[in-house]
Amino acid sequence: MRHPVELLFLSGTIEEVEQITPRMRRVRIAGERLKTVPWLPGQHVRVNVSPPRQWLRHPGDARRTYSVWQLDRTRGTLDLCVLDHGDGPGARWARTARPGQPATLSRPEGRLTLRESPYHLFVGDETAAVPFAAMLRALPTQTPAYGVLGTDSPDGEVPLPPGHRLSWVHRGDADPADPGALLHAVAALDLPVGPGTAYLAGEARTCQAVREHLVRERGWSRRQVVVKPFWAPGKRGMD
């Protein structure tokens, strides 16, 4: 019989670390139980990013949530992509991650997953590109996908699967939490007549602004918009 802790957490070892953009690192974790763990593209895991001795003293710094870039059940590996956007415990964990180090994480969870829909709309910043890439890979080839992603410059564009209609906008030196550039690009999208399903992820205020645009300006129902805020300026636990 497994220990209760093993039922809540998955244990693995960091197998590979790769810099995929100047500010984002891919961390591959390998573990035998990853060969059988349930996962839907778009879901996330919660990673223990601080040493156990700090969990009681600083419980808010113990875990951080990351979307799964890819899960390979044949090899028993799970890829996370972590954006370096400050000096929080999550960013420090990704910067210091090295092959051979142990990793403890939760089972995949979350409702940012594909729905049945005539077409799909993806909107968010570079943090949203991680679950969106997994969801795009899972889409049937005949199902249309549209969307806009934002980052600071072309160097920040996260690789996406081919065959979609997602574009990037570059905010330059503008505040990453300012929804202006992304909202303007979404308003300019030429979408099919009638709503599909929208997936909005990334900075919280931007997600809210895009949802209001879809509901008020394009006549979408809120039920057709899936919102997953990943971060907000200054909010502890989302760093």
pLDDT digits (tens, 9 = 90+) for 99-131: 999 999 999 999 999 999 999 999 999 999 999
Three-state secondary-structure class, residue 223:
helix
The pLDDT, as a whole number, for residue 94 is 93
pLDDT at 146 exceeding the cut of 80:
yes
More confident residue, 86 or 142: 142
How do beta strands 197-203 and 225-231 pair?
parallel
Indicate the residue type of 69: W
- Asked if the model's pLDDT at residue 23 lies above 50, the reply is yes
59 or 204: which leads in pLDDT: 204
Q: Dump pLDDT digits (tens) for 74-103.
A: 999 999 999 987 778 888 999 999 999 999
Residue with tokens 């300012």: 178
Reduce the DSSP state of residue 77 to 3 states and report it.
strand
Q: Residue 3: its pLDDT value, please?
A: 43
What is the distance of C-alpha 127 from the center of its chain? 5
Residues in Cβ contact with 42 at an 8 Å cutoff, skipping those fewer than 6 apart:
67, 110, 112, 113, 114, 131, 132, 134, 135, 199
Q: Is the pLDDT of residue 212 over 50?
A: yes
Average confidence score pLDDT of the chain: 91
Give the pLDDT mean for 34-57: 86
Is the pLDDT reported for residue 236 higher than 60?
no
Share of the chain above pLDDT 90, in %: 79
Report how far residue 144's alpha carbon sits from residue 157's, in angstroms, rounded to the nearest whole number. Answer: 21
Take residue 45 and report the two structure tokens written for it.
Answer: 């895991």
How far is residue 65 from each of residues 49, 152, 186, 190, measured CA to CA in Å? 10, 22, 27, 33
- For position 237, what pLDDT does the model report? 46
Its pTM stands at 0.91
**CA–CA gap between residue 134 and residue 128 (Å, rounded):** 10
- Contacts by 217-222, CB closer than 8 A, 24 or more apart: 217/187, 218/191, 219/195, 220/195, 221/195
